[in-house]
Structure 1
Amino acid sequence: MTDQKIFFHAGDGEWTDLGGGNRRRVLLHTDELMMVEFAFEKGGIGALHNHPHVQASYVAEGRFEVTVGEHSDTLEAGASFIVPSNVVHGVKALEAGRLVDSFTPHRADFLA
């Protein structure tokens, strides 16, 4: 095993302000996989976008309106969703909440 960080504790990591009361922090990553926490205030928007990474998301807290491609659903804590590569997706926080997203491969743009 290399010097790669393999554990992350609740108080670790720096938050990046995304505006509109939204923020993110990279939890852990390798070249192949990345885990990122997003925090949203009520009404916060994760604008529709796409990327080449496959994304799996877990609703850790709150309730979100989630759109993936042509499908939309309301998801609450304990639910999850997957976004195939290059599919347009986004979220709206119906109440304050957190998402934990995994990306493969890692999002180099989140490390810059």
Structure 2
Amino acid sequence: MSQQAFFAQPNVSEWIELSPGNTRRVLIHTAEMMQVEFGFEKGAVGALHSHPHIQVSYVAEGSFEVTIDGKTEIVGQGGSFIVPSGLVHGVVALEKGRLVDVFTPHRADFL
């Protein structure tokens, strides 16, 4: 078993391009939770999807049109939103921005 990391320094993890204008990097994780940063160019879309994980998102930069279970709201820098397990959700970047997401349990598909 590998030793649990207690700290994650900036720029240690690599950015992965998901689609044009949309990138992701895993910051730190345990079996129970994971912190992930997503980068978006203006107009980039985080397509509607669902997963069994609970997700909490913090808007670190920019503003996003966020849709959760058919309800849409604009969430700006400093705002947050939560996605319960199984609900369909997605975002559109209204300007260049970053989201910091926490998932529980961790997203094995991101490792």
TM-score by length of 2: 0.96
Listed as ranges, the gaps of 5+ residues in structure 2 are none
Letter in 2 for 1:81: F
Letter in 2 for 1:5: A
Deviations 1:85-109 (A, max 9, x none): 0000000000000000000000000
Deviations 1:44-96 (A, max 9, x none): 00000000000000000001000010211001110000000000000000000
Taking the TM superposition and a 5 Å limit, the aligned residue runs for 1:99-110 are 99-110=99-110
Distance, in Å, in 2 between the alignment partners of 1:70 and 1:40 is 22
Tell me how large the CA RMSD over aligned residues is.
Answer: 0.9
How many matched pairs? 110
Taking the TM superposition and a 5 Å limit, the aligned residue runs for 1:1-112 are 3-111=3-111
3-state SS, counterpart of residue 46 of structure 2: strand
Where in structure 1 do 4 or more consecutive aligned residues deviate above 4 Å? none
Distance, in Å, in 1 between the alignment partners of 2:95 and 2:9 is 25
TM-score by length of 1: 0.95
Identical aligned residues as a percent: 62
